[in-house]
Amino acid sequence: MITTMPRRALLGALPSLAGLAVLAGCGDAGSGAATADATAAVGGGGGAGPTDAFPVTVEHQYGRTVVPSEPRRVVSVGLTEQDVLLELGVVPVGVTEWYAEQPSAVWPWARGLLGEARPTVLSQEDGFSFEAVAALAPDLIVGTNAGMDEQDWATFSAIAPTVTSLTGSDRYSAPWRDQTRQIARALGRSAAGEALIAGVEEHYAAARAANPGFAGRTATFTQGAPWDNNLYVYPDGVNTDFLTELGFRITPGLEAYAEQEGQQALISGERTDLLDADVVVVAAESAENIPVLLDFGTMRTLDAVRGGRTVFADDVLSGAVYFLTPLSQKYVVDRLVPHLAAALAGDSPQAVVG
């Protein structure tokens, strides 16, 4: 039986758990530093360069960070920040692996911006690699989606100016707009950060206009296979922007089954009826997970399943949903929207799509 560790549940547990297979290794750690250094000049991803005057000050949950001059060697110690760095035109010298061991920890939707660079790949498998980060001689450390506590921030700040999330943010799920602005400000590229946000909003607006039938329809988003005899299902506001921004309404009542606010709902086989909606989106990741899901509880009897209104996302599309960055969201809109439209028409195949 194929099962997959819940991605966002994993995020909250990372600092205290070691040896999780989904955070596999540190890839080419150490082997790519020279190549990354040679190609990591600011602007490497196609950006126009800084527009803010240095020094810049970035306010965050642990105080403020002053970045004295334009960063040239940026390290991402969070799990998704590489997307924002690359789209802002900065190729990091160090990135952090989340899961799936993508080349240089960069997924297909962002890989074209990486060029020939090969950043050093870090791991959070055993906690932060402070020594490995220091060895990269960064002049900026970015950790807006890193699970960083105040002591971690202080330790990183002794290495280089370090930017994390805004006050009130969850440790691993700060709003994507806030993260984009934090990173852009630290790079002196505030205007470019606002442009990234506007580009995503325009992408969603165009998709909504082309699909007015999405408005007000209910949608459920779930991990593709049970874990510890539960499905991990996403209440409204927990990594569901990709649906609500399209006009959907997240199936109500799921939040009552989350252990804490901001976490996934744990749905047992006896309550899979709670998932039924106008459309169900499943981060299946592989075709092998589909029958595992359908055999769990009463899944096969749901109207959305029997009526062909279930979309099973492949590994890359699922990853793009989990990342929830400007780049990955545009990828999701381009690839998922046609399948959502087909599902609402009752014409979605029981096969992974991407």
| Number of independent structural domains in the chain | 2
Judge whether 195 lies within some domain: no
Instruction: Name beta bridge partners: 206.
Output: none
Separation between Cα atoms, residue 51 and residue 192, nearest integer Å: 8
Q: Which domain holds residue 323?
A: 200-353
Among candidate residues 352, 304, 313, 310, the one with its CA nearest the CA of residue 332: 313
- Residue ending a domain, among 170, 189, 208, is 189
Q: Is 128 exposed, middle or buried (0-12, 13-18, 19+ CB in 10 A)?
A: buried
The more confidently predicted of residues 6 and 329 is 329
What's the rounded Cα separation, in Å, for the pair 91 and 126?
Answer: 25
Pairing relation of β-strands 63-67 and 56-60? Answer: antiparallel
Clarify whether residues 232 and 332 are in a common domain.
yes
- Boundary (domain end) residue, out of 159, 189, 219: 189
Q: Report d(CA 297, CA 279) in Å as an integer.
A: 18
Per-residue model confidence (pLDDT) at position 169: 80
Domain end (from 140, 166, 189): 189
Please compute the mean of the pLDDT values over residues 292-296 and round it to a whole number: 94
User: What does the pLDDT read at residue 36?
Assistant: 38
Residues 163 and 236 reside in one and the same domain: no
Query: Is the same domain home to 82 and 169?
Result: yes
Band the pLDDT of 85: cuts 50, 70, 90. very high
Q: 165 pLDDT exceeds 70?
A: yes
In 164-199, which positions are buried (b, 16+ CB within 10 angstroms) versus exposed (e)? bbbeebbbbbbbbbbbbbbbbbbbbbbebbebbbee
How does pLDDT run across 8-52, given as a tens digit for each residue?
A: 444 443 332 222 222 222 333 333 333 333 333 333 344 578 999
- Contact yes or no for 141/161 (Cβ under 8 A): yes
- Whether 231 is covered by a domain: the verdict is yes
Lookup result for tokens 């984009």: 180
Whether residue 183 is found in the same domain as residue 223: no
Q: How confident is the model at residue 6, as a pLDDT? A: 52
* Structure token pair of residue 242: 């990709």
Give the per-residue SS3 of the chain.
CCCCCCHHHHHHHHHHCCCCCCCCCCCCCCCCHHHHHHHCCCCCCCCCCCCCCCCEEEEECCEEEEECCCCCCEEECCCCHHHHHHHCCCCCCEEEECCCCCHHHCCHHHHHHHCCCCCEEEECECECCHHHHHHCCCCEEECCCCCCCHHHHHHHHCCCCEECCCCCCCCCCCCHHHHHHHHHHHCCCHHHHHHHHHHHHHHHHHHHHHCHHHCCCEEEEEECCCECCEEEECCCCCCCHHHHCCCCEECCCHHHHECCCCCCEEECHHHHHHHCCCEEEEEEECCCHHHHHHCCCCHHHCHHHHCCCEEEEEHHHHHHHHHCCHHHHHHHHHHHHHHHHHHHCCCCCCCEEC
Q: Are residues 164 and 82 part of one domain?
A: yes
Shared domain for 71 and 110, answered yes or no, is yes
Average pLDDT of 301-329?
95
- Which amino acid is it at 314? D
Give me 216's structure tokens: 């007000």
What percent of the chain is predicted at pLDDT more than 90? 75
Residues 80, 168 within the same domain: yes
The reply to whether 238 and 125 lie within a common domain is: no
pLDDT at 2: 36
* Residue at 1 is within a domain: no
Same domain as 28, residue 177: yes
Q: Any idea what the CATH number is for the domain that residue 50 is in?
A: 3.40.50.1980
Is 179 a residue whose pLDDT tops 90?
Answer: yes
Position 125 scores a pLDDT of: 86
Claim to verify: residue 214 and residue 333 sit in the same structural domain: yes
Residue 51 lies in a domain: yes
- Which of 25-34, 80-89, 134-143 is predicted with the least confidence, judged by mean pLDDT? 25-34
Same domain, 220 and 105: no
Task: Indicate whether 320 and 220 sit together in one domain.
Answer: yes
What's the chain's average pLDDT?
86
In a domain, 323, yes or no: yes
111 in any annotated domain: yes
Q: Residue 2 falls within a domain, yes or no?
A: no
